[in-house]
Amino acid sequence: MFEATASAPVNIATLKYWGKRDVNLNLPTNSSISVTLAQDDLRATTTARASSEFAKDELYLNDTLEPLGKRTLQVLAELRALRAEIEQKDPSAPKIADLKLQIVSVNNFPTAAGLASSAAGFAALVKSISLLYKLPHNDSELSVLARQGSGSACRSMFGGYVAWEMGSETNGLDSRAVQIADVNHWPNMKALILVVCAEKKDVSSTSGMQITVETSGLFTERVNTLVPELFVKMKKAILDRDFGSFAKYTMVDSNQFHAVCLDSYPPIFYMNDVSKSAVRAIHELNDQYKEPIAAYTFDAGPNCVVYYLEENEEAVLSHLGQAVSNVNGFPVEKMGSTPASTSTPKWA
Ligand code: DP6
């Protein structure tokens, strides 16, 4: 029996990926940027085993046997092909490429956190199997495989601040994640998750983004003009540790992403009244301070992720606590604040 374990963190995009130019390879219509959430608190950990005693490939997610989806099978096939190449070149390498795999993945973040687990999950799967197969590839090269499982997963191959460069090649080999800055670059950056609703979203990201690509007129302007500009500006704001600019671009992008969802036909609504009250509360707070001290961003769901600097924590928490918990008695649950920066992934 051969075995390897690896883990990968959750990431939250501050410049969103929304739209595929190639559905099979998961190639995006635009580049994106994310911040990785605290590695120790919010991670998927995966153990991969290969053995001649296994009759078929199996995947367990949080102790439940899951069917192997098309994308998982595609990622496994690619990983096996890379291992087979090694075995062909080096006859002394153990023959494990053809052995069946048992993959056991556990998320240490509560389902009630309302966070999508696919990004961390696919990243941990690729890391653990690449370790098992002793693949010589670096994290950026491996992110090309994670991307095929779930686009946003490629960014979970790194900690800190990460860009997914959309690439231009049709084979997708240059559509991969690169680290913009590591954990230590901006140690006082914090993230707070406001859990508005922990249930699964109505329209999955995968299908929602294709409805937008096919029907939204605003979408073309977003991917051709607005996102390329924001990509350059946001990267610079991160490298300069310019929170005001980082916050503004993050909010502008979140708003625009939800605007193209609304511009889709039929329209897609991810934010609800509680989400909107969080937006208003943060703008109110930023107005009081005459500069952005907090930034909101919403993925394909109503939950709000707020970025702020540690020195402003009290102001942000108390203002949001008052403003958001009053809205229609919705159960807004604060998960606590976690450092957004991360340490280097530990490989078991
Ligand atoms: C709104 O990565 O879940 O979170 O590639 O179809 O698996 P697939 O989509 P997925 O989409 C994430 C969308 C988003 C924005 C982002 O994370 O960049």
Spatial contact of 140 and 88, defined as CB atoms under 8 Å apart: no
User: How high is the pLDDT of residue 118?
Assistant: 86
Percent with pLDDT over 70 in the chain = 90
For residue 154, count CB atoms less than 10 angstroms from its CB and return exposed for 0-12, middle for 13-18, buried for 19 or more. Answer: buried
Ligand 1: which residue has its CA nearest to atom 3? 205
SS3 of residue 279 by DSSP: helix
CA separation (Å) from 172 to 27, 148, 151? Answer: 7, 9, 12
Which range, of 104-113, 175-184, 214-223, averages the lowest pLDDT? 104-113
Residue 348 has pLDDT above 60, yes or no: no
ipTM value, please give it. 0.99
- Which atom of ligand 1 lies nearest, measured to the CA of 118? 3
| Separation of alpha carbons 183 and 250, rounded Å | 19
pLDDT digits (tens, 9 = 90+) for 148-187: 999 999 999 999 999 999 999 999 999 999 999 998 899 8
Q: What is the identity of the amino acid at 16?
A: K
pLDDT digits (tens, 9 = 90+) for 243-269: 999 999 999 999 999 999 999 999 999
> Two tokens at 243?
């929170």
Task: Give the pairing of strands 100-107 and 58-61.
Answer: parallel
For residue 39, count CB atoms less than 10 angstroms from its CB and return exposed for 0-12, middle for 13-18, buried for 19 or more. Answer: buried
Dist. CA 84 → ligand 1 center (Å): 31
User: How high is the pLDDT of residue 39?
Assistant: 55
Question: Cβ atoms within 10 A of the Cβ of 329, count?
Answer: 8
CA separation (Å) from 109 to 2, 39, 51, 180? Answer: 27, 11, 30, 25
| Separation of alpha carbons 4 and 129, rounded Å | 7
For residue 328, count CB atoms less than 10 angstroms from its CB and return exposed for 0-12, middle for 13-18, buried for 19 or more. Answer: exposed
| Mean of all residue pLDDT scores within the chain | 90
pLDDT digits (tens, 9 = 90+) for 48-70: 999 999 999 999 999 999 999 99
Ligand 1: which residue has its CA nearest to atom 4? 299
- Which atom of ligand 1 lies nearest, measured to the CA of 119? 2
Dist. CA 102 → ligand 1 center (Å): 26
| Separation of alpha carbons 271 and 227, rounded Å | 21
Pocket (CB within 6 angstroms of ligand 1): 13, 16-18, 26, 32, 116, 118, 150-152, 205-206, 299-300
pTM (2 d.p.): 0.94
Residue 192 has pLDDT above 80, yes or no: yes
CA 53 to chain centre: 35
